[in-house]
Amino acid sequence: MVQRQLPNPAELLELMQFKKPQLDGKKRRLDGALTIDDLRTIAKRRTPKAAFDYTDGAAEGELSLSRARQAFQDVEFHPGILKPAPDVDTSVDILGGPSALPFGIAPTGFTRLMQTEGEVAGAGAAAAAGIPFTLSTLGTTSIEGVKAANPHGRNWFQLYVMRDREISYELTRRAAAAGFDTLQFTVDTPVAGARLRDKRNGFSIPPQLTLGTIINAIPRPWWWIDFLTTPKLEFASLSTTGGTVGELLDAAMDPTISYDDLAVIRDLWPGKIVIKGVQNVEDSVRLRDAGVDGIVLSNHGGRQLDRAPIPFHLLPSVRKAVGDDFTVMIDTGIMNGADIVAAVAMGADFTLIGRAYLYGLMAGGRAGVDRTISILRTEIERTMRLLGVASLAELEPAHVTQLTRLVPVARDASEAVVR
């Protein structure tokens, strides 16, 4: 029989220690976000549909994005036991400089559309965390503005080759003059992908007021107050505005981009140059042999060619083909620090986060980006400890199995190809 007694008032009082309420609404909601998906939920609640869908969406059926995320979810880790790692070192040397974490902030266009602090919030958060920040050609803060926001940290610039080549050349010169140390030469956007969410939402730059956008804005007045009381939303590096995203990209990009353009930009750029948007082994080897400093395996976050290769699945083959001394980075689909650990184990030197950063930005401006970085840092450190590794250098393919749901078949349907 269980012995029962009257409650002890002193013990009851000890149990009734209520948590002090957090009166700062932004801090309260960000502190309550434990994952990047939590930040996404907050971002969706606080951001107009067209702006949120521009960030969250991808091309056509969005298969490239969903497959990239599924690839990380299908990772199986293999921890070592009796290998204590009370302290872990998450730092890495990448492209001639340090990063406190094995990820940086990827280039994103129209960033002030998501939240008015835009690239300034991203660059400031990157500076505080000791990681690189990448400014897009289609950014809404100038090269010089990002430098002011991150004067002592590592700034990278992402370059599109435009139909008017002189625009691209001048942007290259400006980024070099501002002390940006790495150029991401992007090669996967000869034309715009079919981003159907944007078309269905009537999304344009700058945003246009319609009955639908007004109705959608009613529960989100803070976004519109920020939008209407801050400087006009426009490209900081380009003069072209007005139209859908696809129309703007098609007007600016040039499908004739080639290795000749790479040679010209290489001559103009004094720092490190990496090619972003590489999607097969053959191009990886050719670019290494062409003398670039590295590549980014990327399908543009699933925003260009739907059903494109999954960068994480491609990673082991590329690493084997290019060798250990060539810089290979990866993006697309990263939503957890464990994804980053898996990528490093499978051969990536570094990773880039895009949507994860923007979800934080939409959820809480600069503080939200800080929260994104904090969540990923915690997940990276915890995963490393659970694997029994004290540094990124200790991660190796034996720590990871890439489970796959998509097995390619031979042209002869009777013969399966096992990777």
Determine the Cα–Cα distance for residues 68 and 332; give it in Å rounded to an integer: 6
Task: Say if CB 356 and CB 56 are below 8 A apart.
Answer: no
Out of 152, 300, 313, 399, the active site residue is 300
CA distances to 44, 140, 195, 217, 277 from 209, in Å: 19, 20, 20, 10, 34
Cα angle for residues 13, 14, 15 (degrees, 5° grid): 90
Determine the Cα–Cα distance for residues 127 and 409; give it in Å rounded to an integer: 46
Bond into 270 cis (ω within 30):
no
Active-site annotation holds for 152: no
Determine the Cα–Cα distance for residues 300 and 308; give it in Å rounded to an integer: 10
Let me know if 161 is exposed, middle or buried by CB neighbors in 10 A (0-12, 13-18, 19+).
Answer: buried
Query: Distance of alpha carbon 284 from its chain centroid, rounded?
Result: 21
Q: Would you name the residues annotated as active-site residues?
A: 300
